[in-house]
Amino acid sequence: MNWTLGNNLYLILLLLLPLLGIIMISYLKWKNQRKKIFAEAKFQDELFEKKTGFTKVLPILYLLATLFLVLSIVDLLSGSEEVKSKQKMNNVIFLLDVSNSMNAQDVAPNRLDEAKNIIINTMEKMKNDKVGIVVFAGDANSIMPLTTDFTAAETYLGGVETNIVKIQGTDFLKAMKTVVDKFKNIPKGARQVVLLSDGEDNESNEKPAAKLAAKEGISVITVGIGSEEGAPIPEYVFGQLMGYKTDIQGETVISKRETQALQNIANKTNGTYVDGNNLENATTQIIDGLRKSATSSETMVKSNNAIHYYQYFLGVSILLFLVIFLLNPNRDFNI
Q: Are 137 and 257 within one domain? A: yes
CATH code, domain carrying 263 = 3.40.50.410
10 vs 72: CA distance, rounded Å: 10
Residue 335: inside a domain: no
One domain for residues 237 and 268: yes
Same domain (yes/no): 64, 146: no
Give which of 267, 224, 222 is closest to 106, Cα–Cα. Answer: 224
Is there a single domain that holds both residue 76 and residue 109?
no
Neighbours of 31 (CB within 10 A): 12
User: Is 332 within a domain?
Assistant: no
Q: So what's the pLDDT on residue 57? A: 80
| Residue 224, pLDDT score | 97
- Cα distance between residue 217 and residue 149, in whole Å: 25
> Which residues neighbour 271 within 8 Å (Cβ) at sequence distance 6 or greater?
193, 219, 220, 221, 222, 265, 289, 293
Instruction: Please indicate, yes or no, whether residues 125 and 267 belong to a single structural domain of this protein.
Output: yes
Does residue 49 sit in the same domain as residue 195? no
Q: Is residue 120 domain-shared with residue 145, that is, in the same domain?
A: yes
- Whether 161 maps to a domain, the answer reads yes
Indicate whether 28 and 152 sit together in one domain: no
Same domain as 52, residue 191: no
Sign, Cα dihedral of 45, 46, 48, 54 = positive
Query: For strand 307-308 and strand 76-78, is the pairing parallel, antiparallel, or unpaired?
Result: antiparallel
In a domain, 237, yes or no: yes
Say how many domains are in the chain. Answer: 2
d(CA 292, CA 165): 33
Same domain, 224 and 98: yes
Residues 140 and 41 in one domain: no
For residue 333, being part of any structural domain is answered with no
Task: Indicate whether 223 and 242 sit together in one domain.
Answer: yes
84 DSSP β-pair partners: 300
Residue 225 lies in a domain: yes
Residue by residue, pLDDT tens for the chain (335 residues) are 577 777 778 888 888 888 888 888 888 788 777 766 666 555 555 555 555 666 678 888 888 999 999 988 888 777 655 555 556 678 999 999 999 999 999 999 999 999 999 999 999 998 878 999 999 999 999 999 999 889 888 998 988 999 899 898 899 999 999 999 999 989 888 899 999 999 988 778 899 999 999 999 999 999 999 999 999 999 988 778 889 999 889 999 999 999 999 999 999 999 999 999 999 999 999 999 988 876 645 555 455 566 788 899 999 999 998 888 888 766 555 66
Which structural domain, as residue segments, surrounds residue 162?
90-296
If DSSP codes are grouped into helix, strand and coil, which group holds residue 128?
coil
